[in-house]
Structures are given as C-alpha cells and as structure tokens.
Amino acid sequence: MDTALTGKQILLIIGGGIAAFKSLDLIRRLRDRGAGVMPVLTRAAEEFVTPLSASALAAQKVYRDLFDLTDEAEMGHIELSRAADLVVVAPATADLMAKMAGGHADDLASTLLMATDKRVLIAPAMNVRMWEHPACQRNAATLRGDGVMFAGPVEGAMACGEFGPGRMAEVPEIIDAITSALSNGPLAGQHIVVTSGPTHEPIDPVRYIANRSSGAQGTAIASALAGLGGKVSFITGPAEMPPPGGVHVIPVQTARDMQEAVIQALPADAAVFTAAVADWRVAAQADTKMKKNGNALPDLKLTENPDILAGVAQMTQGRPRLVVGFAAETHDVLDHAAAKRQRKGCDWIVANDVSAGTGIMGGAENEVTLITDAGPEHWPRMEKTAVARQLAQRIADALAT
Ligand code: CTP
C-alpha cells in the first residue's frame, strides 16, 4: 500500500473530454491505494461519463452543480474545496484551463478551483492544435506561475486522428504525480528544474548536430527528486529514455528551445543541468534538404549556442538557491570540472569520466566526483539511479539549511 496516498482525500474534477473515461480508472486506482476520491463532474464531462459510474467507483456522492441546494446544505463549495488534501483536474480541457487562468467562477468546478487553499494538479487533454495554440500556452504559463502542477500532456495518437502533444498522461503517471504532490518528503514545496537528454540542432529538415546522451542520468535524478516530494520541471531534449512519472515534462529540441523553457520554468529553488547540450548550431538552417553537389562539400558555418547553465548560475535576480552542473570529460576530469564550475558560476558540479572504456555513456552505471565549495568528493561507481538518489538527498539537505 502506497503510504503517501493512504487516507488522503482527493477532489477530482473531471472535465469534458474524450479522456474523461480514463478518470474512472484513475478513481479506481486511487482507491486501491487507500485514497478517498470526491468526484466533481462538469456539465461537459457528463457527456462522456455518467455521474452514476463515477459515484459507484468512488463510493461517494458526485458533485455536479453549484446551485444544488442539497449540496450546499450538506457541504458548501468553500468547505468542499478545502476538504481534500489535493485538487486534481483530469482531464483538464482547454476551456477549464482558460477559466482557471482567468479566475472564472461560473460553475462548480471553476468555483472550487478559485476557492481552494490546496495544491492543484492538472492533467491537460486536448487536440494538439488546441494545446499548441498561443492562448492555451499562455494559460499554461500563467497556471505554472500560479503554482499549479502539471501531469502531461504527452505526445501520442489522439482520438481525433492527429498526433502530437495534447494527449492526457496515462493513469499511472497521474498517480505518480499525485503521490509526489502529496509526499511529505524533504523536498515538499520545493520546485526544481532539471535539464536532460541531448539537444538536436537542425542543419536542414533531415539532418542535425547532437551530443550523445541517453537521458538516463537526468531521468533518474528527476525521478529521485520527485520521490523526495519535490515539484520537478523536467526539460528534456529528444532522449532515448522515456521521461519519469510524477514530474512536469517539457519536451524541447534545440539548445535555444531548452534555454527558453528553463527561463519559463523559473522561479525555482534549485536547478540541475544534466543535459548534453550541443555547443554549436549551424548559423543558417536550410529550409529544404541540402543536396549533394558533385564533389563540393557543404559549407556549414557554425555558431555557438547559449550556455544555459552559465546563464542561470549568473542571474543577478531570481537565481535558484542551488545551481548544479555536470561536467562530462574524457581527460583531466577533475581539473576541467573544477575550472568549469568557476567559469560557469554554478554552486556544485558533478564530474564524470565519459571516455571510451568506462562504459558510462549509455550504460547503467556512473562514477562521479561532486565538487562543491568544500572541494572534490569522490563517489564509488554505482547505478545511475543510486547516484541520482544520493544527489537528490544532498540537494534536499542543502535546501533545508
Ligand atoms: N551546459 C548548458 N548549456 C550549454 C552547454 C552546457 O547548460 N550550451 C551545461 C550542461 O548541461 C552541463 C554543463 O553545462 O551541466 C557542462 O557541460 P559540458 O558539455 O561538459 O561543458 P561545455 O560548456 O560544453 O564545455 P566543453 O565542451 O568545453 O567541455
């Protein structure tokens, strides 16, 4: 039994979208883990799931209408909004997100969201064009700024036949996010930004420049931080490793996209830069595929990408309290890493030797040296997940002081 969920009350607002059917499974699985679920259906949600099925699965009354006097007599909307340990909106439609961002209170769901004093986690679900629409992205940014936590959306095939981001996160991922939000771990209430994976810098529509990176170490660190109760914004380039559950995933392609996403995700208590950012991009990306031209080689002019870590480490206002960089080196590891820490201005740097023969790049293990103000500290070779847990605990200790 999941201790983080046992005995917890979750106010589950079900929005009107095709993904609403998954919310029934969410109710069932939350109850399996010992949580109580108070379901609230919007009017649109009733087109997709019946109040009876939500009520039967939750073994509770379903709340539907703001002006239902019986409800008001039993439990007013203010009380209802505060009776839960966490408010979850799944699926969160574009319309519900807009209402939340705009502070509307014209039905039961939006009124509860305005009245609550509890943390709110949303699982957006909508068509890819709607999700990518500037209005929706603006609302998402406002909600993030308000401290609303996100589970998904993820990329995938949609009921409407299109493909892309907008699909609701799968139920186990939403449960991970709920578990992390309810965790009383040492990082509860702290926001941590993690960059991970490679970046892809397009040369033309079919070619790109990239560093090697599976994303394994970054994924493990994000997961460990969420496991300690942290709210994690996971900004990842196109990595092999699927992103962890329980974190807010922000997929990006290029270094400049990653930098933009990091800036959008701030403020944060800590930031951990595990991404293998490509140092260069081509100065002028070709719009069409470059063709081979006899023996003449393409004249690719490179330009340097922004240093995301250095930019954040050297912020004069709103800098995270703890900025952690990684240094993947193939020789003179400690010297290069210590110099990098000074040059970039980060608090800690995690140095590792990625030369061929160590098996670290793409492997399951890592052997790192943590360099702080106190000097280098060598950690024995261990699983990347163990490195992640140890580092997450160190971050929690540092933020607690
Ligand atoms: N980093 C970053 N933005 C960049 C380059 C690197 O945020 N444009 C971060 C990485 O995520 C890592 C640290 O800086 O935390 C060091 O990355 P690394 O590739 O080892 O260093 P570089 O700055 O690229 O230096 P060099 O290539 O000279 O070793």
CATH number at residue 147: 3.40.50.1950
Q: Is residue 367 part of a domain?
A: yes
**Residue 166 alpha carbon to ligand 1 centre in Å:** 31
Q: Is residue 264 part of a domain?
A: yes
Place of tokens 């010992």: 34
Instruction: Give me the pLDDT at residue 73, please.
Output: 58
- Last residue of a domain, which of 119, 153, 182? 182
**Same domain for 34 and 137?**
yes
Instruction: Give me the pLDDT at residue 150, please.
Output: 86
Structure tokens at 397: 């200790």
Instruction: Give me the pLDDT at residue 16, please.
Output: 95
Q: Which of 175, 150, 152 is nearest to 164 (CA)?
A: 152
**Same domain for 129 and 212?**
no
**Same domain for 111 and 248?**
no
**Residue 77 alpha carbon to ligand 1 centre in Å:** 50
Instruction: Give me the pLDDT at residue 29, please.
Output: 95
**Same domain for 175 and 198?**
no
Catalytic (active site) residue 160: yes
What Cα–Cα distance (Å) separates residue 27 from each residue in 10, 171, 175, 192, 299? 9, 10, 10, 29, 58
pLDDT cut 70: percent of the chain above it: 97
Q: Angle between the 171-182 and 216-227 helix axes, to the nearest 10 degrees? A: 50
Q: Is residue 314 part of a domain?
A: yes
Please write the tens of the pLDDT for every residue from 195-250. Answer: 999 999 999 999 999 998 889 899 999 988 988 888 899 999 999 887 876 788 89
Biggest CA pair distance of the chain = 83
Who's near 294: CB < 8 A, 6+ residues apart? none
Buried b (16+ CB within 10 A) or exposed e, 278-303: beebbeeebeeeeeeeeeeeeeeeee
Report the nearest atom of ligand 1 relative to the CA of 325. 15
**Same domain for 173 and 28?**
yes
Instruction: Give me the pLDDT at residue 74, please.
Output: 61
Instruction: Give me the pLDDT at residue 292, please.
Output: 86
Report the nearest atom of ligand 1 relative to the CA of 304. 8
Q: Which of 353, 348, 346, 350 is nearest to 330 (CA)?
A: 353
Instruction: Round to whole Å and give the CA distance between 382 and 168.
Output: 35
**Same domain for 128 and 263?**
no
**Same domain for 267 and 389?**
yes
Residue 11 pairs in a beta bridge with 38, 87
Report the nearest atom of ligand 1 relative to the CA of 309. 7
Domain housing 328: 191-400
Place of tokens 């799944």: 90
Q: Is residue 1 part of a domain?
A: no
**Same domain for 330 and 201?**
yes
Where does residue 103 fall: left (phi above 0), alpha (psi -120 to 50 degrees), or beta otherwise?
A: left
Report which protein residue has its CA nearest ligand 1's atom 17: 327
Report the nearest atom of ligand 1 relative to the CA of 344. 14
Instruction: Round to whole Å and give the CA distance between 368 and 331.
Output: 14
CATH (domain of 268): 3.40.50.10300
Instruction: Round to whole Å and give the CA distance between 223 and 180.
Output: 10
Query: Residues 91, 125: contact at Cβ < 8 Å?
Result: yes
**Residue 278 alpha carbon to ligand 1 centre in Å:** 8
Instruction: Give me the pLDDT at residue 68, please.
Output: 63
Q: Is 66 exposed, middle or buried (0-12, 13-18, 19+ CB in 10 A)?
A: middle
Q: Considering its fold, how many domains does the chain have in total? A: 2
Q: Is residue 4 part of a domain?
A: no
Residue to substitute in 279, 333, 334, 344 for testing ligand 1 pocket (most ligand atoms within 8 angstroms of CB): 279
Helix (H, G, I), strand (E, B) or coil at 253: coil
**Residue 194 alpha carbon to ligand 1 centre in Å:** 14
Cβ-based neighbour number of residue 71 at 10 Å:
17
Enumerate residue ranges in the chain where pLDDT < 70.
1-3, 66-75, 245
Instruction: Round to whole Å and give the CA distance between 311 and 366.
Output: 27
Q: Is residue 3 part of a domain?
A: no
Helix (H, G, I), strand (E, B) or coil at 156: strand
Instruction: Round to whole Å and give the CA distance between 99 and 111.
Output: 10
Q: Is residue 2 part of a domain?
A: no
Q: Which of 160, 206, 339, 364 is catalytic?
A: 160
Report which protein residue has its CA nearest ligand 1's atom 9: 309
**Same domain for 162 and 209?**
no
- Last residue of a domain, which of 182, 209, 238? 182
Report which protein residue has its CA nearest ligand 1's atom 23: 307
**Residue 327 alpha carbon to ligand 1 centre in Å:** 7
- Last residue of a domain, which of 162, 182, 202? 182
Query: Residues 351, 181: contact at Cβ < 8 Å?
Result: no
Query: Residues 349, 327: contact at Cβ < 8 Å?
Result: yes
Residue to substitute in 256, 277, 281, 336 for testing ligand 1 pocket (most ligand atoms within 8 angstroms of CB): 277
Instruction: Give me the pLDDT at residue 112, please.
Output: 94
**Same domain for 207 and 293?**
yes
**Same domain for 281 and 330?**
yes
**Residue 277 alpha carbon to ligand 1 centre in Å:** 6
Ligand 1: residues with CB < 6 A are: 195, 255, 273, 275, 277, 279, 305, 307-309, 325-328, 340
**Same domain for 27 and 92?**
yes
Structure tokens at 178: 């709920």
Residue to substitute in 194, 273, 350, 371 for testing ligand 1 pocket (most ligand atoms within 8 angstroms of CB): 273
Look over the chain and give the mean of its residue pLDDT values, rounded to a whole number.
91
